[in-house]
Structure 1
Amino acid sequence: MSFADLTLERYSCRKYEKRAVESEKLDAILEAGRLAPTACNNHPVRVLPCTTPELLEKAAACQPRFARDGSIFGAPVVLLVCGVDEDAWVRPYDQMNAAPIDTAIVCDQMMMQATELGLGTCWVCHFKPEIAREQFDLPEGVYPYHMLTVGYAADTIASPERRAERTIAREDFLL
């Protein structure tokens, strides 16, 4: 599948089949994240794969609004994407820490790999980080930035017309 096709195929899946993701596919997704570029190759990103009922419940507790069937949107896999801020590159001019950007790149790369493998995903940022820190007993200095739900989609992508309505116009996108 070309990258252009991949970008058209990917959407935010919010309903999943009750079907496990094969370990080979999960390994490929995690490898795509591991290989993702980070600022100055500092690799401040850590990923916690939630695949057991206990871990999926903990993920769902971070945003009860999205809780379904013991997980977020009923996904059989939730990847908690965290950053170690002190390991990240810091821009010297304004002290901007690259950890949020690096974690986003890793999340995106895993999301696109999952799509290529025929899996649905949803990038979840609307959750309570302090609850995630508690639920997963994250070490000091490890901050939960994103969750990525992964599984076999039980919903479908919007029609091309509906997607076009929700996408920024090119003339608005370009400065």
Structure 2
Amino acid sequence: MSFAELTRSRYSCRSYEERAIEPEKLSAILEAGRIAPSACNKHPSRVLVCDTDALREKAAKAAKHFAKDGSVFGAPVVLMVCEKVDTAWVRKYDQMGSGDIDTSIVVDQMMMQAEDLGLSTCWVCHFDPRVAIDEFGLPADLYPVHMLTVGYAADEIASECVREARTIPMSDFRIVL
């Protein structure tokens, strides 16, 4: 599958089969995140793999609006991507830290690797980080930024015309000066 085909086939899956992810596929997804680039190679990203009933339930408590069947959207795996505090590169001009960007690159690479392996995902940012910190007992130097649900889809991608209607037109997306 070409990268263009991969980007067009990926969608935000919100319903999963009750089917485990093969360990080798999960390893490949984690490896894609591990090797993701980061600003100045600081690598502030850390991933908590929620692949047991107890861990998935904790993730669901943090993302209560998406809790389903003891997980987030009923996914067999929820990847909690955290930033290791005070390790990301900081831009000197305005003190912008790259942690959100670096962790986003990790999620993006894991998301696309999952799709390439025949799995579906949903990138979740609508969760309460304080609940996640408390539920998981995360140390003070780890801050949860994203969740990525992973599994075999029990729903289907919307039609191409529906997807196109949801997408920003190129004339709005591209800035022409």
Q: How does 1:61-72 map to 2 (within 5 A)?
A: 61-72=61-72
Deviation at 1:84, TM superposition (A): 1.3
Match of 2:89 in 1: 89
Match of 2:127 in 1: 127
Q: How does 1:22-171 map to 2 (within 5 A)?
A: 22-171=22-171
Which secondary structure does the structure 1 equivalent of 2:86 belong to?
A: helix
Unaligned runs of 5+ in 2: none
Percent identical across equivalent pairs? 65
Query: Matches of 1:145 and 1:112 in 2, distance apart?
Result: 18
Query: Matches of 1:29 and 1:65 in 2, distance apart?
Result: 26
| Conserved 8 A contact 1:44-1:99 | yes
Q: When the two structures are aligned, how many residues end up with a matched partner?
A: 175
Q: TM-score, normalised by structure 1?
A: 0.99
Query: Matches of 1:114 and 1:136 in 2, distance apart?
Result: 24
Query: Matches of 1:63 and 1:21 in 2, distance apart?
Result: 21
Q: Output one character per residue of 1:28-47: Cα deviation in whole Å (capped at 9) or x when no partner.
A: 00000000000000000000
1:64 alignment partner AA:
K
Quote the RMSD (CA, aligned, Å). Answer: 0.5
Runs of 4+ in 1 over 6 A off after TM superposition: none
Query: Matches of 1:99 and 1:136 in 2, distance apart?
Result: 20
1:154 alignment partner AA:
A
1:13 alignment partner AA:
C
Match of 1:17 in 2: 17
Unaligned runs of 5+ in 1: none
